[in-house]
Amino acid sequence: MTKPKRQTLTERRAEELRMTIALTARDLFVAEGDASATVERICEIVGIAPRTFHRHFPVKEDVLMPLLRRSETIILGELENAPGDADPVEILTYALTLEVGSRQVPDFDRQLVRLIVNTPQYRLRFVEWSEGLADGITKFLSRYYELDAEPFLRDLPARLVVQTMRHAIYHWVDASGSGDYSEVGRLEFRGFGMALSGLERLPQR
């Protein structure tokens, strides 16, 4: 297995700055209830020039991508490290709700996710990001289920998982009340069970 390339100090500092900018934008968006804050406003808070912002984010709508990439790392790490005798539906549910659920700030998270899914530019990036999880989910599922050899059918269960995840999140955002993110997990658990029910389980290792 090839070891991941070690980051240089410059690369680490650039990554830290991107995350600082993303967190600043996130908090500002939630505080104001929309994503209309300008690049200049975000830069003023962070203490950088707009040209520095655009060096890391070609357009403002990319500003939340570091947060999604962090979530991706957490999700795929949980899937990769899951034990062979685990319940795959439980593991998927846990991995896909871990980061948000562990923060225990439901009002903030609901506002943030609502803003993302109801703002077309950010919803598009969320959809693209979630579709990017499919390869890792297919790899995970192949450890527990007999997947078809034909590429379309082999990838389909993971695509259904991704779509179920999005549907659960959209439902949580739109639902009345103040339920925390565990509601997303409850919906995902039921949905994943349905989406994967037609697959044949491999013998447990």
Give tens-digit pLDDT for 129-138.
Answer: 999 999 999 9
Q: 43-47, 171-175, 182-186 — which one is most confidently predicted on average?
A: 43-47
Number of Cβ within 10 Å of residue 86's Cβ equals 14
pLDDT for 1 beyond 70:
no
DSSP letter at 47?
T
Q: Amino acid identity, residue 82?
A: A
Sign of the CA dihedral running 195, 199, 201, 202: negative
Contact (CB, 8 A) for 129 and 72: yes
* Residues whose CB is less than 8 angstroms from the CB of residue 23 and which lie 6 or more positions away in sequence, other chains included: 67
Of residues 136 and 204, more confidently modeled: 136
pLDDT in tens, 86-140: 999 999 999 999 988 777 677 888 889 999 999 999 999 999 999 999 999 999 9
- Give residue 105's pLDDT: 76
Q: What is the pLDDT of residue 178?
A: 56
Give 2-14 pLDDT, tens digit per residue.
455 777 877 889 9
pLDDT range class, residue 175, cuts 50, 70, 90: confident
Look-up of token digits 């957490």: 74
Q: Which helix (H) or strand (E) holds 200?
A: strand 200-201
A 10 A CB-CB count for 42 gives: 21
pLDDT greater at residue 66 or residue 173 = 66
pLDDT at 179 over 80: no
Residue 11's pLDDT is 80
The predicted pLDDT at position 180 comes to 80
The whole-chain average pLDDT of the chain stands at: 92
pTM for this prediction: 0.90
d(CA 160, CA 146): 16
Q: Where are the alpha helices (DSSP H) in 33-181?
A: 39-46, 50-56, 65-80, 88-103, 106-118, 120-131, 134-141, 151-174
CB under 8 Å to 149, separation ≥6 — which residues? Answer: none
In contact, 158 and 134? CB cutoff 8 Å: yes
Give bridge partners of residue 73 from the DSSP assignment: none
